[in-house]
Structure 1
Amino acid sequence: MGAATSPTGSPSRRPLWFALGAVGVVLVVALIVVLVVWRGGAGTPTSSDTLPGTRPTPSSTAEPLAVATPAPAAAAGPRPTTCDAIYSPTMLATLTDTSALNPDWTESDPSGVLFGTSDAELTTLIESVEHLTCVWADPNGGSGSGLTSNVVFVSADQLEAAHQRLLGLGENCYEELGGIRCVAETPQGDEGIAGESHFLRDGIWLATRYVNAGPDGYTHDMVATIWAGA
């Protein structure tokens, strides 16, 4: 008999090819997984997806927001409407005994007695807002005595501006009666004395200027009357 011929494929190599084939399948699957992950898990498009080279367009033009302008805050304190309402009956009787309230000659600007301060900056502030003017003077015309009080209705910012201006003028300011009191007086001279008294509280500024006039307790009486019961 002749020598036996060996089969084409060696049995000892079959397991090796089988193993290599299995490894190849695993590599292919791994490659597919890597590609999917690398592309960000692309699959079902979301609502934010757009075509390449395009951008979403708003459906309509946005209207500008309306910004409301806050109205100035109303004065927090009382609001007297006449000069008679800022004095007690006793003080009103005392003032009436020696002078007249708002005599006709004081109504004209040249009279120079319409404001409870001699400072131009404070006078401008008084003129710019609502206020009462209470002048006690000789009914027959200008004389060497009299006083003027303005009841000025101001915002919190205006009240503080008046306070700072009074401090800048060198007036003596201190806390009193629930508010701020500022006073200044000239030394006694041949023509007597002159001065100013200011009181600031709750949206009201009481500005008083006097020349050889003003009963004791004048400002305190106004405060007690205007803020009665407060």
Structure 2
Amino acid sequence: MGAATSPTGSPSRRPLWVALGAIGVVLVVALLVVLVVWRGGAGTPSSDDSLPGVRPTPSTSAAPLSVASAAPTTSTPAGPKPTSCDEIYSPAMMTTFSETRTLNPAWTVGSDDVLQVGTTDEELAGLIEGDEHLTCIWAAEGGGSDSGLTTNVVFVTAAQSEAVHARLNAIGQSCYEELGGIRCVIETAKDSDGSSGESHFLRDGIWLATHFVNAGPDGYTHDIVATIWAGA
């Protein structure tokens, strides 16, 4: 596998969705400083996604595979396939998040001033961009701010899913079994500028990749999983 992309720095209060290159560098070092969960209690994974806490490390880690080696060789596994961002959130989550942010505001669509992928790791970002995916961005309606969140719903093959899991382990994310899939999380320590991090979930040919800065209501990832796999 390729060398891990090393996060550098800590999140700042300047507009989140401007000068993304600088933000990515800032996050990468900060992510190595403190590993805490995206939203969850200490010790054993909980159902409420609350902060902060330390997730258990997996008893075994996937072999370090190169993401590039996981080019699709078979069709994407059959499973849920949402076609719009409105389909991945429950009505309650849409209401909660819409109180302070807008889903895919016009200024973010295709903009180089907004984080379009849910990770700062270059290898993982390349896989997201090369595969079929939905991009769901929660940001301020009027433009850049010091908080926001990007989630990609990426449709992957089994080989790609394994490679993503291995890469997340290799770059220091805490991975564990949860909700019928694999969850990987990392977050900076909260300081005067807030906190930032990532949450990833792999199940049934779907990869949920989320990058956040000072954003993310309780149960965000759990809500997406419960909505996409409703009745499963």
Scaled by the length of structure 1, the TM-score of the pair is 0.68
**What are the within-5 Å matches in structure 2 for residues 104-183 of structure 1?**
104-183=106-185
Secondary structure at 1:160 match in 2: helix
CA distance in 2, matches of 1:158, 1:82: 22
Give 1:80's aligned residue.
82
Query: Cα 1:78–1:139, aligned 2, differ >3 Å: closer, same or farther?
Result: same
Q: Which amino acid aligns with 1:205?
A: W
- 1:200 to 2:202 alignment: yes
- CA offset at residue 188 of structure 1? 0.8
CA distance in 2, matches of 1:105, 1:112: 9
CA distance in 2, matches of 1:133, 1:108: 10
Count of residue pairs brought into register by the alignment: 161
CA distance in 1, matches of 2:170, 2:218: 26
- CA offset at residue 71 of structure 1? 7.0
Tell which has more relative contact order, 1 or 2 (C-alpha 8 A, sep 6+).
Answer: 2
Secondary structure at 1:158 match in 2: helix
CA distance in 1, matches of 2:203, 2:73: 21
Q: C-alpha deviations, 1:93-137, integer Å up to 9, x for none? A: 111111011112212342141111111110000000000000000
Tell me the percent identity: 63
- 1:89 to 2:91 alignment: yes
CA distance in 2, matches of 1:149, 1:115: 7
CA distance in 2, matches of 1:75, 1:201: 10
Q: Which amino acid aligns with 1:97?
A: E
Q: Which amino acid aligns with 1:122?
A: L
CA distance in 2, matches of 1:109, 1:166: 26
CA distance in 1, matches of 2:200, 2:73: 27
- Say whether the 8 Å CA contact 2:76–2:158 is kept in structure 1: no
Secondary structure at 2:92 match in 1: helix
- CA offset at residue 72 of structure 1? 2.5
| Off by >4 Å, runs of 4+ in structure 1 | none
**What are the within-5 Å matches in structure 2 for residues 7-86 of structure 1?**
72-86=74-88
Scaled by the length of structure 2, the TM-score of the pair is 0.67
Q: Which runs of 5+ in 2 are unaligned?
A: 1-71
CA distance in 2, matches of 1:187, 1:76: 38
Give 1:103's aligned residue.
105
- Say whether the 8 Å CA contact 2:183–2:201 is kept in structure 1: yes
CA RMSD of aligned residues (A): 1.4
Q: Which amino acid aligns with 1:227?
A: W
Q: Which amino acid aligns with 1:101?
A: L
- CA offset at residue 190 of structure 1? 2.1
Q: C-alpha deviations, 1:58-79, integer Å up to 9, x for none? A: xxxxxxxxxxxx9722322200
- CA offset at residue 215 of structure 1? 0.3
Give 2:17's aligned residue.
none
CA distance in 2, matches of 1:221, 1:93: 13
